[in-house]
Amino acid sequence: MLRLLIKHFRPGITLIELLVVIVIIGILAGVGGPNLGGWNCRQELKNDFSELNGFLEELKIESVTRNRTMLASVRSSGKGNNALIKAYQGPQGKKRACGSGAGWEYLGANDITDYEAESALENFSKTVCFNADASATAGSYTLGRECSGYWGTSYFQYKNQIFGATGYIEKLKYNTNKVNGKVIGWEDI
The pLDDT score that the predictor gives to residue 76 is: 67
> pLDDT-derived band of residue 31, with 50, 70 and 90 as boundaries?
confident
Statement: residue 186 has pLDDT above 70? yes
The pLDDT score that the predictor gives to residue 77 is: 53
> pLDDT-derived band of residue 151, with 50, 70 and 90 as boundaries?
low
The pLDDT score that the predictor gives to residue 84 is: 81
Q: Which of 5-14, 117-126, 137-146, 163-172 has the lowest mean pLDDT?
A: 5-14
Query: How far apart are the C-alpha atoms of 182 and 73, rounded to whole Å?
Result: 36
Task: Please write down the HEC assignment for all residues of 39-78.
Answer: HHHHHHHHHHHHHHHHHHHHHHHHHHHHCEEEEEEEEECC
CA angle 120, 121, 127 (to 5 degrees): 160
Question: What percentage of the chain reaches a pLDDT higher than 70?
Answer: 83
The pLDDT score that the predictor gives to residue 178 is: 80
- The DSSP 8-state label assigned to residue 181 in this structure reads T
Statement: residue 85 has pLDDT above 80? yes
110 or 71, which is more confident? 71
Closest CA relative to residue 86, chosen from 99, 68, 72: 72
Query: How far apart are the C-alpha atoms of 41 and 83, rounded to whole Å?
Result: 16
Query: How far apart are the C-alpha atoms of 63 and 95, rounded to whole Å?
Result: 10
Q: Which of 14-28, 67-81, 104-118 has the lowest mean pLDDT?
A: 67-81
